[in-house]
Amino acid sequence: MEQLSRFEGQAVVVTGASRGLGRGIAQRFAQEGANVVVASNEEGVHEVAAELEALGVQALAVVCDVTQKAQVEDLYAQAVGRFGRVDVSVQNAGVITIAKVEDLSESEWDLVLDVNTKGVFLCCQAAARHMLRQGQGRLINTASGQARDGFIYTPHYAASKMGVVGITQSLAKELATRGVTVNAICPGIIATDMWQYNDEHWGRLLGSQGQGQLMQAWATEKIPMQRVGTPEEVAGLVAFLASRDAAYITGQTINIDGGLIMS
């Protein structure tokens, strides 16, 4: 990829950054010159930070549970302590479980809503405090195609991601005149660890046989481009929303799914 420097000297926080979309997003910002704080509840963030530093930028790994307010506030305090500011915050941490309605447990419901919705708000809140003092910033939230069209066996996940859209719109209206934009993305079928899990569990409940077959079938039958997306493609959208070119965009939720959902 051509080396760019749109974010040189900026500080970017990415949650859920130990793998999948978060890792890809963190890599894209590092490739474009940003110093990156990679956060996750998994120790893998230390490996990701080392990868980013090999690209010639500074990186900070923070193990953080986004459902815990004190840990979230400490994450952003560490970011500011290391880099002096927070220019971009990408709320990407997320979890999913898949179960029939009669089997879906209350603990599963609580976990998914806590991470995917409460976690997004807590990170937006903590990041916004620093951004408002600076007079500028970008908040970017990872929703899902399920924020547009809830899928079978995942009412809790659909609710959590629809909640992300609501948070995005509300905060965008509040912060629009204060230098902070707030947008969300809705990835469709993207080749990540989460989709491997989804393929196995949805495949079992829907009667699909063979690892990888369901996801590929959906791509062929439902997506006009007839292929699965990549973390790098999602990262490109996030980088655009964080750039100066997106200065007049706020409160928007943008699909990135090969045409799966057109709205």
Provide the pLDDT for residue 1. Answer: 44
Per the CB < 8 A criterion, the answer to whether 21 and 192 are in contact is yes
CB 29 within 8 A of CB 5: no
Whole-number pLDDT of residue 102: 98
Co-location of 170 and 135 in the same domain:
yes
The answer to whether position 61 is within a domain reads: yes
- The whole-number pLDDT of residue 127 equals 98
Same domain, 166 and 76: yes
Q: How many structural domains comprise the chain?
A: 2
For the chain of 263 residues, list the mean pLDDT of each consecutive stretch of 10: 78 97 98 98 96 97 98 98 98 97 98 98 98 98 97 97 98 98 97 84 78 78 94 98 98 97 89
Q: What is the CATH number of the domain that holds 138?
A: 3.40.50.720
- Both 206 and 182 in one domain: the answer is no
Boundaries of domain holding 213 = 193-228
Task: Tell me if 66 is assigned to some domain.
Answer: yes
pLDDT, position 198: 85
From the centroid of its chain, how far is CA 220? 25
Q: How far apart are CA 33 and CA 162, in angstroms?
A: 32
**Annotated catalytic residue, options 76, 157, 197, 248:** 157
Of 27, 138, 134, 123, whose CA–CA distance to 75 is shortest? 123
Measuring CA to CA, which residue among 241, 250, 239 is closest to residue 34?
239
pLDDT score, position 212: 63
Angstrom distance (rounded) from CA 92 to CA 12: 13
Pair (83, 68) in one structural domain:
yes
153 is catalytic: no
Inside any domain, residue 263: no
| 4 in any annotated domain | no
In a domain, 143, yes or no: yes
Give the whole-angstrom CA distance, residue 194 versus residue 203: 14
Query: Which pTM does this prediction carry?
Result: 0.95
Cβ neighbours, 10 Å, residue 75? 27
CB atoms within 10 A of CB 12: 30
